[in-house]
């Protein structure tokens, strides 16, 4: 049976580069790949998956809040690759789960696990609930050599807890380990801020 994969990592863990490398390998073997991405992510062009290394490829399907996936569209496809999967609406994650059963296509989703307040994104939460395999894409902390597990939002070089959960244009993010995050952002402060509201 085809599997649903969730490959998660912090910012700057080369998730998009990994996805593009997988797409290249499939296509080099003459196989058919579909690239999907949430429309909300327009940092590098709305219809493009781009890594910070410079690799880029056009997407085959942009996912909107009301998108539903027709399994027939994936007949004859060898693999589905999804970038920025944390932004997926949960019903789309459920559609991807069904696609692994019929027509039986493996689906590999890449994305963040948690936001800058250490809270799960809705898409990531549903993937953690439904995925057959959950794999971590690792990177080291910005401040030390430990493994990064959190994303810290910065404003004017200082940690910030304000703003919407999804904020792509004005904020900077860095990957940090738990010790470096908690040294700068106490969990009590995160709890006071709450979950935030989606938006931009």
For residue 103, whether the previous peptide bond is cis, meaning omega lies within 30 degrees of 0, is yes
Residue located via tokens 């942009």 = 62
Q: Map residue 102 onto helix, strand or coil.
A: coil
E strand spans, 9-55: 33-38, 48-50
The active-site residue out of 84, 129, 136, 167 is 84
136 noted as active-site residue: no
Question: Which residues, at least 6 apart from 77, have a Cβ–Cβ distance to it below 8 Å?
Answer: 32, 33, 34, 103, 105
Residues 158 and 160: their CA atoms lie apart, in Å, by: 6
Strands 107-111 and 4-8: parallel
Residues 67 and 45: their CA atoms lie apart, in Å, by: 19
**What does the DSSP assignment read for 45-76?**
-TTEEE-TTS-EEE-SEEE-TT----GGGGTT
> Catalytic residue numbers?
84
């Amino acid at each position: 049976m085809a599997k649903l994969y969730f490959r998660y990592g912090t910012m700057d863990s080369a998730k998009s580069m990994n996805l593009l490398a997988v797409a290249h390998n499939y296509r080099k073997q003459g196989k058919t790949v579909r690239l999907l991405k949430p429309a909300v992510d327009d940092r590098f062009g709305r219809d493009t998956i781009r890594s910070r290394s410079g690799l880029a490829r056009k997407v085959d399907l942009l996912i909107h809040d009301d998108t539903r996936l027709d399994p027939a569209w994936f007949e004859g496809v060898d693999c589905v690759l999804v970038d920025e999967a944390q932004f997926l609406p949960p019903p789309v994650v459920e559609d991807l789960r069904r696609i692994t059963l019929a027509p039986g296509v493996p689906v590999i989703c890449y994305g963040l696990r948690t936001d800058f307040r250490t809270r799960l994104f809705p898409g990531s939460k549903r993937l953690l609930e439904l995925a057959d395999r959950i794999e971590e894409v690792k990177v080291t902390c910005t401040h030390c050599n430990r493994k990064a597990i959190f994303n810290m939002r910065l404003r004017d070089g200082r940690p910030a807890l304000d703003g919407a959960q999804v904020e792509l244009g004005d904020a900077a993010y860095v990957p940090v380990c738990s010790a470096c995050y908690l040294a700068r952002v106490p969990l009590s402060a995160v709890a006071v801020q709450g979950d935030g509201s989606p938006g931009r």
